[in-house]
Structure 1
């Protein structure tokens, strides 16, 4: 007995093979434990409520004569705050967020040294994109600075 396939059956077989091909990619992307699927923020509805506060803080920072400067130095990240401000009055936190992997996110309290400079060692900073958010206060006025960098 000879198996004969006409063009109609060939189309059905080709479509079935294509669907199996696509579905195996979908299954692999969902079932593979090496591919972590997570959101940038677990509480994004709650974060939305504080978004106007962030906008106000960033507007305050944009009105400064000199804003925060972020530079990559040798094996460090250097943050330079406005020189016309007293370093003992500046307080806040620097947040380092890795969009591709929230497990390596971290933050540092602002502790300024001479010339309103803070240096963060790069023991946790791996190559790639980082979202840096500096939330700080000076004389009861709140400021925020955001920058995306490739380290």
Structure 2
């Protein structure tokens, strides 16, 4: 049987489309290739974005901002010493871009001006830390990306 050039082009197109569709179906059905959103309530967070901008401005206006450093004990978060640590409230969110299951949140409850997050909670790799805290009804926001 002889195949003319028109039939050959159609067969190549069908083969190429089949190849692409195979990978699209495989990527959508295989659980190894999860493609989650950064957050589940994305649109709700976008509506509160101006509050986040204002809180970051408040944080940058401080004489001393929060200091985050890695030590042998774990991750040490030092709050400004000119603030009364017992009046500070809020949450610390640790977000792992590579694995949603490792994300966690810690409420801020201070007995000193420092808070320690132990090594057992943090695996090696990249983490995004967000500290959303309040002092005297003023919101502050600290964001940092770190490699642990």
TM-score by length of 1: 0.86
Note the residue ranges of structure 2 that are not aligned, 5 or more in a row: none
2:142 alignment partner in structure 1: 145
- Structure 1 residue 86: deviation in Å? 2.1
The alignment covers a number of residue pairs equal to: 148
Q: Deviations over 1:12-67 (max 9, x none)?
A: 22222221111111011001022223212222222122111111111110100111
1:103 alignment partner in structure 2: 101
- Aligned-residue CA RMSD in angstroms? 1.9
SS at match of 2:16: helix
- Structure 1 residue 94: deviation in Å? 0.3
Which residue of 119, 133, 138 maps to 1:136? 133
1:2-151 alignment, distance < 5 Å: 3-74=1-72, 76-114=74-112, 116-151=113-148
CA distance in 2, matches of 1:65, 1:51: 24
Note the residue ranges of structure 1 that are not aligned, 5 or more in a row: none
- Structure 1 residue 75: deviation in Å? 5.9
With over 3 angstroms needed to count, the CA separation of the structure-2 counterparts of 1:75 and 1:26, relative to structure 1, is farther
- Structure 1 residue 9: deviation in Å? 2.4
- Structure 1 residue 125: deviation in Å? 2.0
